[in-house]
Amino acid sequence: MPRCQVCGAVAAVHVVQITDGQKTEQHLCTKHGADGLPPITARASWVNWSLLLAGALLMTFAVACCLVTMVESRSRRNPYTPVLTFALILMSAADLCFLSLFIRGGWVWRVVAVLASLPTLFVIEDFLRRA
């Protein structure tokens, strides 16, 4: 007999949801089945917020690396090259977080992901100009 995914009681409500071809099943007791907030939706929202936070932190560090004006380096060609390369790596990781958010989220999350990835243009332009 299936158990409630929230409290572990005997499940009386079985919800099958198909979104974008992905089938999700929920087993809930009568108390949590009547609440109307399925735990899978809450979990997805938590993942989306985590992706947004991780991407925002990585992008902040990438932009901060681009704003560095004096860096000691042994590179003869350009002393900024290692820092700008690190900024590109951070930016790529941030963009992967935003891409995951874009793929898994609804239209609001997609708009947020596109807006959050706009500093990518600054990082790439700065790298091409100074490296």
Please give the C-alpha separations between residue 53 and each of 4, 23, 32, 43, 60, in angstroms, as whole numbers. Answer: 30, 27, 29, 15, 10
Instruction: Report the chain (131 residues): mean pLDDT per 10 consecutive residues.
Output: 80 79 81 61 73 93 77 58 87 94 86 93 86 66
Q: What is the pLDDT of residues 24-39, one digit of tens each?
A: 888 878 777 766 555 5
Listed by start position, the domains of the chain span 1-36, 39-130
Please give the C-alpha separations between residue 44 and each of 64, 106, 130, in angstroms, as whole numbers. Answer: 30, 11, 40
pTM: 0.62
Sign of CA dihedral 92, 97, 103, 106: negative
The pLDDT value recorded for residue 113 is 93
